[in-house]
Amino acid sequence: MPLIDWLDKYNINIKEIDDQHKRLAEIINKFYESLQANKSDKNLNKILDDLLAESVLHFTREETIMILYKYPGYDAVKEEHDILSNELTNIFRRENENKEDKFTKIAFFLRDWLIDHIFKDDLKLGKYLKEKGVT
């Protein structure tokens, strides 16, 4: 079973953003499957690098959209994005931990990280963009 089963309630109904969120979920699922299949550290770290790169792209895109549509919550969301990016970067640096434990914790952290991000900020942003006629 995938770590993240995509549910309808995760959609903010703005296609471009939903597609990016699904892509992030796919990478997290790939990470979890690779972990369960005992793939090498190198392999797992490569997936995490991909995830970091995709999430930077995603946050930048959301921030551009917020500026474009003059979203009033921009500052708060930008701050939240920066916190999330830092958390993501820091989790890669954790040392002195049993390898298996470390990667398992990372997998669950990532799942919560993505879902929290959507529920905390993006659903509100989606509503706002809908009112502005974005689809």
For Fe ion, which residue of 62, 103, 111, 113 counts as binding (CB under 5 A)? 62
Please name the amino acid found at residue 89: T
Residue 66 CB, nearest approach to Fe ion (Å) = 9
What would the x/- binding string for Fe ion be over residues 83 to 122, using CB under 5 A?
--------------------------------------xx
When computed from its CA atoms, the radius of gyration of the chain, rounded to whole angstroms, is 16
Q: State how far the Cα of 22 lies from the Cα of 110, in Å rounded to an integer.
A: 13
CA dihedral 11, 91, 86, 68 (to 10 degrees): -20
Name the residue nearer to Fe ion (CB basis): 48 or 84: 84
Under the binding rule (CB under 5 A), the answer on residue 44 touching Fe ion is no
Report the 10 Å Cβ neighbour count for 46.
14
Binding site for Fe ion (CB under 5 A): 62, 121-122
